[in-house]
Amino acid sequence: MARKKIALVGSGNIGGTLAHLIGLKELGDVVLFDIAEGIPQGKGLDIAESTPVEGVNARYSGANDYSAIAGADVVIVTAGVPRKPGMSRDDLVAINLKVMASVGQGIKDNCPNAFVICITNPLDVMVWALQHYSGLPANKIVGMAGVLDSARFRYFLSEEFNVSVEDVTAFVLGGHGDTMVPLVRYSTVAGIPLPDLVKMGWTTQEKLDQIVQRTRDGGAEIVNLLKTGSAYYAPAASGVAMAEAYLKDQKRVMPVATLVKAGTFGQPDDVFVGVPVVIGENGVERVVEIELSADEQAAFNKSADAVRGLVTVAKGLMG
Ligand code: A3D
């Protein structure tokens, strides 16, 4: 059986880390793509030269031409610019919208059957744009944010409880960033919901609220420490987990930005936003619709409306 082909559109901090992790996990051969000449080629060669040391088999190549991604099974998109001090969200929409136009066309022309994972920010609206420009069916295009947000939540909870990260599960809904909705009652330690752990004296409601807020601010916390860019190790690990779920037909239940159809999750119209889905060989195989309490529904609506606001900005820019 031929190895799978994984194309990474964008070879910056996340793209390079994705390439490294994919090789270490032997998920397939990697094509790095970027507009910056030499970067994808250099990173590809450097990582390829680590494979004999690691004892893994993966071929790497780098390119500045979209023809290199032809026939890719999976495309992970990190192309674009991250937010810098003084930039508004709308500025980022304008710049990265143009990037999604060219990336979408590149996918449409070269690998229309790929499973596409978008990581470029502002996440939910970029997934919408990429679907618009690539014309891919909605089950084949998702955004990575919820896996990262829930990983951050799980890590902070594991520290608080002094238990293994493996035994902590977390459930988040909504758009990436300020309006994400962590569902505390569906988050557990070995199946015990967090509100029960508060009752058991493992933590206090106040500490739990602080952890939820730290999770929402997780991206900013890293940006403030790094000063020169945003997080990339955990975002890359999250993107790779989603690619693996598809390539190995794992049927994993993961929170991803996907098309939430009108009438589901209490939404009046279609919107790309984060909800739990099953990922397998057909991409998004099922959207897991859960019943929300009044508070949760209000928080989710606020998050979905924030995405709608940015989609309106994007449509205005598209003319
Ligand atoms: P960075 O290291 O700047 O890499 C971006 C790469 O994109 C650079 O190598 C650019 O040359 C390249 N690029 C720019 N324009 C194009 C284009 N038109 N075609 C192809 N390549 C292009 O950034 P990064 O890797 O740290 O982050 C990438 C994106 O992910 C940014 O938009 C971040 O905001 C976003 N991000 C999202 C999350 C989520 O959880 C959703 C987390 C962290 C970062």
Tell me: do 81 and 107 sit in the same domain: yes
CA 130 to centroid of ligand 1, rounded, Å: 14
How many domains does the chain contain in total?
Answer: 2
Q: What is the pLDDT of residue 88?
A: 67
Q: What is the pLDDT of residue 86?
A: 64
Tell me: do 235 and 304 sit in the same domain: yes
- The 8-class DSSP code of residue 165 comes to G
Tell me: do 41 and 107 sit in the same domain: yes
Q: Which residues are annotated as a binding site for NAD(+)?
A: 10-15, 34, 96, 119-121
End position of a domain, from candidates 112, 144, 176: 144
CA 312 to centroid of ligand 1, rounded, Å: 23
Q: Residue 19 has which token pair?
A: 């390439």
Tell me: do 93 and 177 sit in the same domain: no
Q: Which domain holds residue 107?
A: 5-144
Residues annotated catalytic, as ranges: 176
Which atom of ligand 1 is found nearest the CA of 83? Answer: 34
Which atom of ligand 1 is found nearest the CA of 103? Answer: 19
Lookup result for tokens 């420490």: 225
Tell me: do 207 and 280 sit in the same domain: yes
Q: What is the pLDDT of residue 177?
A: 75
Determine the angle formed by the axes of helices 218-226 and 205-216, rounding to 10 degrees: 60
The CATH number assigned to the domain holding 170 equals 3.90.110.10
pTM strictly above 0.95: yes
Q: How far apart are CA 61 and CA 186, in angstroms?
A: 42
CA 189 to centroid of ligand 1, rounded, Å: 34
* DSSP helix/strand/coil, 97: helix
Tell me: do 202 and 236 sit in the same domain: yes
Residue nearest to atom 20 of ligand 1 (CA): 34
Secondary structure element (H or E) that encloses residue 95, with its range: helix 89-110
Q: What is the pLDDT of residue 179?
A: 86
Tell me: do 56 and 175 sit in the same domain: no
Helix (H), strand (E), coil (C) string for 20-58: HHHHHCCCCEEEEECCCCCHHHHHHHHHHCCHHHHCCCC
The best mutation among 9, 17, 33, 35 to test binding of ligand 1, ranked by most ligand atoms within 8 Å of the C-beta, falls on 35
Residues 212/86, Cβ–Cβ less than 8 Å: no
End position of a domain, from candidates 128, 144, 160: 144
Q: What angle do CA 42, 112, 135 make, to 5 degrees?
A: 115
- φ and ψ at 49, to 5 degrees? -70, -10
End position of a domain, from candidates 109, 127, 144: 144
pLDDT < 50 regions, the chain:
none
Tell me: do 152 and 109 sit in the same domain: no
